[in-house]
Amino acid sequence: MKALLLCEKPSAARRIARALDEEGKPAERKIGRVPYYEAERDGKMLIVVPALGHLYTVAPKVRDRNVYPVFDFEWVPRHLAERDAKEIGEWIEAISLLSKGADEFILATDYDIEGATLGYTILKYACGGKEKEAKRMKFSTLTTSELRESYASLLRSIEFPMIEAGICRHLLDAIYGINLSRAMTIAAKRWSGKYATLSTGRVQGPTLKFLTDRERQISCFVPVPFWRINAKVEMDGQIFDVEYEQKTIKTQAEAARIVEECRGKRGRIEKVEVREFRQKPPVPFDLGALQREAYSLFKYTPRRTANIAERLYLEALISYPRTSSQRLPRTIDYRAILKSLRREPKYRELSEVLLDKETLTPNEGKGYDPAHPAVYPTGNLPERRLSVPERRLWDLIVRRFMAVFGDPAVKQSVRVSIAVDGHIFYLRGRRVLEEGWMLFYRPYIQVEDVILPPLEEGQTVNFKEVSWEKGFTKPPARYNPSSLLKRMEDEGIGTKATRAEIIDTLYTRGYVSGERAVVSELGLDVIDILSRYCPEVISVEFTRDLERSMEMIQNGGERMEAVIEKAIERLRPVLLRLKENEKQIGRELSEAIRKTQMKKRMLGGCPVCGTGQLIILRSRKSGKRFVGCTNFFKGLCKTSFPLPQRGILTPAGRACGECGFPMIRFKLKGRRPLTFCVNSNCPGKKRNPR
């Protein structure tokens, strides 16, 4: 008997083959460049072969990119639809060849919508229609024990309702994304004669609208002045800041009056309020919470965090990360994981503290995912030297896992009310009485105690300083990748697996730039055009409705065909309106593209002439890039500097501290970005030559 065991990636196949082979030493083979493994278990030969993620994709039957609308789609090998997927053909041929000698088929891809859909298409198209007879391995970690248990208790079939929901999602994304993107791209190209990739979709559109709405709020914001009272008091030889009862004062005259009435006076303590409270431990990580925490602590984008977590999962260091669950499985042995982590010196003492507890009960959240539990460490230690980002994320997950078993932290807050000449000031103190779970989560939580001396009601204190300062109200903060991800989660659009990718696409398309997401002219115009001609495609309610329909497909409450048909009927008139207004749309988009591309090239003011702008240019004769001044074309300035001819160059948005010339950001594929001064004669370069 031979069983073909289909995995999602080469590293997963290697680990699964090692776990299932009775001697832990499967034979590694190759068909061309495609690796596979031969393992033996229970008298059966297991052919363990990996995919490379999705080998098939949804593509329109009409291949001409200048045609829309298109509503007839089919599953095709990725290399026939995507230019950068040439190796996929070799992979499909290898799997097809191996499938011909198999008596049994087992799907061992990730147990979620994407993993199930990926496996289904390979079984159906590459293996000759074996999807209905295939069995299923279900696991949340790549540890040897769980993989063997999963193989011993195979599910009798693959998860067809989940697959149907996955197929529906791919079809809807293609129908909306391809048609709307083609409509905009074709309009701009026909107007300007130049090609530029433009895209939108049923999730990308509403997400970009969140950003443009915030951008417009910021641009229309009018600051309002206010005044704030600052004061300090002296007690037992120590100086403490105190807060005035009103956080803001509306007029300068009122602020000056308060200062005059309180300055140089002694205050009387009216009330001392002491409150103790218990702070529960945090809940286990789901993917969204992990992405937000990693951004807050390390400034890793959601996409980067997801990629790092995927590598840790494939190394069997953590459980499957693409989960929306905040609950740990009751089936895992918490003590065994802690005993294993204890082998790592930095976790030894922390593990011992938890192991000394009679029972280990995690504090869990409400989030539930039927496919996978919350993210947790498997207890395995790294088999190789982890990179700094990998080590940081693994440490964060380990410490979070430990923290959920900790006792509540006991904290004390003190609020002292001080009266002076009819005015009230507040002095606040705080301290941690019992660390509890915080012990395990350091250094990722920091609390500064403010310990007050013993105070009694009726006691007088001396005001050392009272003053006012003027401030202005601030506009709402721009989104960053983390807060945008949270907004998408709250609004119920996208999935845990796709949200980070959608945010990444907004940056790639040039709609958004910077850590604090600044929307470009192009991004604003795309939403403006969609708002005028087809507001439904950027509607959160519309997108959320489609998400609910796909959930109902998975639960058996909707048919995929009905959902697709309804979506097409809603999209058809939208595309007709876009086609009718193609010239106007093309003109607006072309102008927005021109402005956005120009802004990407503008580096900053020219310190030599003082009136021009330094810009990235390309020589007509040599084709080489260089920095030049816009006043060159007026015959007023000849400032120019050479630039690297490879890689991506973007403005750094700041001036050099040595010479005042603009800084530029340089990025080569696979390398860390480098920021340098454009001035070849910068004094800093002479002292620190590279």
- The DSSP bridge partners found for residue 47 are 4, 38
**Cα separation, 113 vs 390, whole angstroms:** 26
Can you read off the two tokens belonging to residue 157?
A: 């079939």
> What burial class does residue 25 get, using C-beta atoms within 10 Å of its C-beta: 0-12 exposed, 13-18 middle, 19+ buried?
exposed
Yes or no: say if 586 and 195 are a contact pair by the CB < 8 Å rule: no
Cβ contact 86:93 at 8 Å: no
Which amino acid is residue 595, in one-letter code? K
Q: For residue 460, give both structure tokens.
A: 């007088």
Q: Which of 36, 320, 334, 441 is an active site residue? A: 320
DSSP letters, 645-682, are SSSEEEEEEEE-TTT-PEEEEEE-TTS--EEEES-TT-
- Render the burial of 206-217: b for 16+ CB within 10 Å, e for the rest: bbbbbbbebbee
In order, the DSSP letters of 534-582 are -GGGG-HHHHHHHHHHHHHHHTTSS-HHHHHHHHHHHHHHHHHHHHHTH
List alpha helices for 435-559, DSSP H: 438-441, 481-491, 499-508, 521-533, 540-554
Does residue 443 have a cis peptide bond before it, meaning omega lies within 30 degrees of 0?
yes
Residue 188 to residues 67, 194, 260, 343, 526: CA-CA distances in angstroms? 14, 8, 64, 61, 11
Structure token pair of residue 184: 């905009």
Cis peptide upstream of residue 69 (ω within 30 degrees of 0): yes
Residue 20 CA to residue 37 CA, distance in Å, equals: 11
**Length reported for the chain:** 690
Q: In whole angstroms, give the CA distance from residue 687 to residue 602.
A: 27
Whether 320 is catalytic: yes
Residues 6+ apart with CB under 8 A from 434: 407, 409, 410
Strands 613-618 and 602-605: antiparallel
**Residue 330 has which token pair?**
């009751």
Tokens 């204190």, residue?
461
CB-based contact 675:651 (threshold 8 Å): no
Residue closest to 205 by CA, chosen among 579, 470, 551, 505? 505
Other Cβ atoms closer than 10 A to 641: 16
The catalytic residues are 320
